[in-house]
Amino acid sequence: MYHMTLLHWIVVVLFIVIFLILSLFALKEKRLKVAFLMIFASFVLVVLGTIFSLFTLDKYTKKAKLESIRYTNIPSNHSIRVRGVVKNIGNFDIGYCKLEVRVINMFSKKIQKGSMFAPRTSFKEMFNENSGKVKSNFVSKTFKITKNLASKERKKFLFSLTYPLHFQKPKLKYQLSCY
């Protein structure tokens, strides 16, 4: 659920007042069609302004960071177990945080002497030799790691992510988003 702070409610009320003022100016128009078009245009502008303002407020009021994130590769079942702590570093409560995790296949071939400047491609690793189909070199998944995180509060999380069998050396990249 989307968590609105006092600042969010102030912005919503401000844009409602702006809409009412613009509607009053529009109703002074003698032609009814023009008045309705002005009200509709002001409604669209106010809705767009409200949405843009709420997203901007979210960016600056709902701040969190990952602390002590660790991951363990489990080659027997081709999965990675990720654990860590998320901390709310802002002054406002957070409704929920999600972590987008991307597992990337890092090729582990070593460069041989004299072949450093030879043109190399990774097409051989990308194609399945039997079917000729392209294999993906990354897997991306999003996890909801916490709900209702109060200001300055920390919460632990743990999840597991599987990756394809053809990955030789999986590497993690992640991005945290809070709302």
Number of folded domains that form the chain: 2
Specify if 119 maps to a domain.
Answer: yes
Q: Which residues contact 168 (CB under 8 A, 6 or more apart)?
A: 105, 106, 107, 108, 125
Specify if 135 maps to a domain.
Answer: yes
Phi, psi of 59 (to 5 degrees): -65, -35
Specify if 121 maps to a domain.
Answer: yes
User: pTM here?
Assistant: 0.68
How many alpha carbons fall within 13 Å on the CB side of residue 46? 19
Specify if 101 maps to a domain.
Answer: yes
Same domain, 109 and 151: yes
CA 32, distance to chain mean position in Å, is 45
Residue keyed to tokens 């460069």: 111
Same domain, 22 and 51: yes
Specify if 170 maps to a domain.
Answer: yes
Residue ranges of alpha helices (H) inside the chain are: 6-27, 32-61, 123-126
- Structural domain that includes position 135: 64-178
Same domain, 164 and 79: yes
Please give the chain's pLDDT, 179 residues, in tens. Answer: 467 888 899 999 999 999 999 999 999 988 999 999 999 999 999 999 999 999 888 888 889 999 989 989 888 888 899 999 999 998 888 888 999 999 888 765 554 454 444 454 555 545 545 555 667 788 889 999 999 889 899 999 999 998 888 888 888 889 999 88
Same domain, 56 and 69: no
CA 116 → CA 61, 106, 108, 121, distances in Å? 49, 18, 15, 13
